[in-house]
Structure 1
Amino acid sequence: MKIIHTSDWHLGKNFFGKKLTEEQSIFFEKYFFPLLEDIKPDLLIITGDIVDKPNPDYETQQLFKDILYNLFDKKIPAIFILGNHDSKRISLYKEFLRDLNLILVDNLNYFKNPFVFENRKGEKAYFYILPYLSLYELKENMENFWQEEIQRFAIFFNSKNQLFLKELIELLLSFQNSLKRPAFLLGHFALEKGIFTGEEVTLKCIGREEIFPINFFEKYDFLLLGHLHRLQKISHKAYYAGSLLPYSFEEANYNKGVWFLELKNNSLVKEEKIYLNPSFKIKTLKGYFNDLIKYPKDEAYIKVILKDEIPVLHPFERLKTVFPNLLVLEYEEKDKSNANYDFNADSLEIFDKAEIDLNEEKLFKEFYKLIEGNEIDEKLFKVFQKYLENFNEELNKETL
């Protein structure tokens, strides 16, 4: 049995003001579906965060529709589960799609009674499916599917104290006595020792990230998980496919792809990370403005960190001529460990109207000294004077 595990597509992702729907469409057409045609998996598994927004726009829904059509056209069965970015809008037509071997899971039905998948050779696998649910939805599902068990925990469930996601999941896992093998758990949550990228929207409860110990899930043979954006394996049986594409500049140097698993006679005979080329490039460039402006033209999505100590006039617009897809520009942070940040009454006496006249240039010099701990450089001060002059000219025009 051949299984492709992928996750965290984030269709419709907005990347620093750049909508990536077109780039995502190209990726599926040029890289993802050719991979499926080459491997011909028995089953495709997508473990959450299918879309980036709970209420996806029309363009995003069209892309998702095209992906579903392609899976049906290529006769590739698939299991989708909801992640914390998704909503039940995604699974609105799940009953219709089930007849097309496209399973969208938004409740605990397949956690109580596993989804049984059988390939053409008669090999079977059992999938216990735990989509992302809010605390309220999780509690409601548990009450609906495990009425008898919940009666035993009525005091716990009706407690006025705040219930945590971890406590509910631990209780839910206790309801499963025996599993059919091989037993897969599909979920969307963070495991301990998992590597975060910083791009994930945390699964918070009362201000804390819910991270689960892996020993919660010892009874399962394999864990195929979503939420963490790094392609990684934890322990001997927990797989994160990560996001299909890089969605932060920090992820630019990490390979993206899918997990390929092959089972025979209920045992894993092959596991492989398959890396896929992204449909766009992202780069972070760090340097001085006069050097960067001389670079050859680059169509990648760019973040620029300027090392210049003196502010450059209109750097973003000027660098756009070299980097048409410049998305972020910022100055390198200086070491302010020696700066004076003791904002007490004595240090602010310089701003007392009775002590000094409200001259903009003098105020700026004193403020700079207060923040930086030293006198302002003459070149930098001239830049300020130029901006101040332009500001006053514009102000005079408006007055006239």
Structure 2
Amino acid sequence: MIRFLHTADWHLGKALYGRSLLDEQRWFVLEWFVPLLERERPDAVLLAGDIFDRQVPPVEAVTLFDRFLNRLSALRIPLIAVTGNHDSARRLSLGSALLRRQGVVLATRPEDVWNPYTIQTEDGPLCCYTLPYCEPAAAREALGSGQEDGPHTMDEAFRALLARVQPAPDVVNLLITHCFAAGGEVSASESPAFVGGSSQVGLDCFAPFAYTALGHLHAPQKAGTGRYAGSPLKYSFDEARQKKGVVRVTISNGQVETEVLPVHPPHDVRVLHGAFDILLQAAQQTPSGDYLFVELTDTHPIYQPVDRLRPYYPNLLGISSEWLLSEGGKEDSGFRREMRKHRVSEEEIFTAFLQQVCGTQPTQQDLALFREVMKEGEEV
């Protein structure tokens, strides 16, 4: 029986609405994933791209990955990783030949797929083919093709590169790659420049392999003979309902079994939906440090909702109002015009202000004074 763990899309250095997620990522890598490796002792770890969130990651993100490599080396568990579209292939290629001899494979070039890395397990060889993210131009260069006769789409590039791969029939053959497999479910945190249309790769490309460890799409999902592990953490609010994890893969007698090991970080990413008063009451009763986005369903204006919720939700990162969005009105520049579009009078706004901020109902004298002030303002 051969066992390995498949993960992808760590995006070290990622921020959500400007809030750094490095603390959550540090927890995942050092406090969750490394202890998992110590317990599981898998034959290998497959990391299918987007190790970092950008090509020049913050120092703290690089330090975190360095600490992970050191801990993994001490456990003597091979790491097979490819670069994704967010990574800098050139930077991650530094020392790759030396690392490879130590059981750490960081594949950064399309032609790396022609030089598989073989791991000797108790149940026989595990042959790992690595195909990092590559544009058709990079594939043409690797293939020695001209600009006219070489591949011009991602699907063509993958087919041309994999055509030179001849998996041995008597070993377990894996493909570790980073791409957009046809039919995949996309999340908001994935760049639209790298999904859809000519960026898709046909699922039949993966047929020669016992398992294909995919990276790029953040929702865990099956794809042909393999699957996307998905990102281990939630990186956008439309991922709030996704169940994140790491995939444990077991291959025995030619049969492949997968199990998603769930990841539950200290702070979740959630969307709250409802009327402000109900949400505020819930916040007062049960404060939370989760990363939150609030969708207000109120049909009237709410005074400073963020400031009133944040004492209980310190990681409240965004808010939307159904009242403001229901009529559109993005071209209207005046707040008062927006109120009028919703047929809310200035007097109603004043009343709501006293109710929400002062906790009182306006008296007749209050309303009379307010009308007098408003009239004077209109005459100016």
Q: Match of 1:175?
A: 164
Partners in 2 of 1:172 and 1:22 — Cα distance?
38
Percentage identity across paired residues of the two chains = 30
Please tell me the residue identity of whatever aligns with 1:96.
L
Please tell me the residue identity of whatever aligns with 1:117.
I
Q: Compared with structure 1, are the counterparts of its residues 333 and 118 closer, same or farther at alpha carbon in structure 2 (3 Å cutoff)?
A: farther
The correspondence of residues 349-388 of structure 1 with structure 2, limited to 5 A, is 364-365=336-337, 372=341, 375-379=343-347, 382=350
Q: 2:96 aligns with which of 91, 94, 97?
A: 94
The correspondence of residues 213-252 of structure 1 with structure 2, limited to 5 A, is 213-235=202-224, 237-252=225-240
Secondary structure of 1:156's aligned partner: coil
- Superposition TM-score, scaled by structure 2 size: 0.81
Q: Match of 1:279?
A: 266
- Structure 1 stretch 163-172 or stretch 237-246: which is displaced more? 163-172
How far 1:269 sits from its partner (Å)?
A: 5.3
Partners in 1 of 2:52 and 2:329 — Cα distance?
46
Q: Compared with structure 1, are the counterparts of its residues 11 and 84 closer, same or farther at alpha carbon in structure 2 (3 Å cutoff)?
A: same
Q: Match of 1:184?
A: 174
Q: Compared with structure 1, are the counterparts of its residues 191 and 380 closer, same or farther at alpha carbon in structure 2 (3 Å cutoff)?
A: farther
Q: Match of 2:242?
A: 254
Q: Could you tell me which runs of 5 or more consecutive residues in structure 2 were left unpaired when the two chains were aligned.
A: 354-369
How far 1:303 sits from its partner (Å)?
A: 0.9
Secondary structure of 1:198's aligned partner: coil
Secondary structure of 1:104's aligned partner: strand
Q: Match of 1:85?
A: 86
Q: Compared with structure 1, are the counterparts of its residues 263 and 216 closer, same or farther at alpha carbon in structure 2 (3 Å cutoff)?
A: closer
Q: Compared with structure 1, are the counterparts of its residues 238 and 202 closer, same or farther at alpha carbon in structure 2 (3 Å cutoff)?
A: farther
The answer to whether the 8 Å contact 2:246/2:261 transfers is: yes
Partners in 2 of 1:77 and 1:18 — Cα distance?
33
The correspondence of residues 192-231 of structure 1 with structure 2, limited to 5 A, is 192-204=182-194, 208=197, 210-231=199-220
Partners in 2 of 1:254 and 1:217 — Cα distance?
25
Partners in 2 of 1:204 and 1:303 — Cα distance?
26
Partners in 2 of 1:223 and 1:269 — Cα distance?
11
Which portions of structure 1, spanning 4 or more consecutive aligned residues, are displaced by more than 6 angstroms?
Answer: none
- Superposition TM-score, scaled by structure 1 size: 0.77
Q: What do residues 336-362 of structure 1 show as CA deviations (whole Å, max 9, x unaligned)? A: 58x899x9xxxx9xxxxxxxxxxx99x
Q: 2:114 aligns with which of 103, 112, 119?
A: 112
Q: What do residues 308-352 of structure 1 show as CA deviations (whole Å, max 9, x unaligned)? A: 333323221221112111111111267858x899x9xxxx9xxxx
Secondary structure of 1:293's aligned partner: helix
Confirm whether residue 52 of structure 1 aligns to residue 53 of structure 2: yes
Q: Could you tell me which runs of 5 or more consecutive residues in structure 1 were left unpaired when the two chains were aligned.
A: 144-149, 349-359, 394-400
> Number of residues paired by the alignment?
350
The answer to whether the 8 Å contact 1:27/1:279 transfers is: no
Partners in 2 of 1:31 and 1:6 — Cα distance?
13
Q: Match of 1:356?
A: none
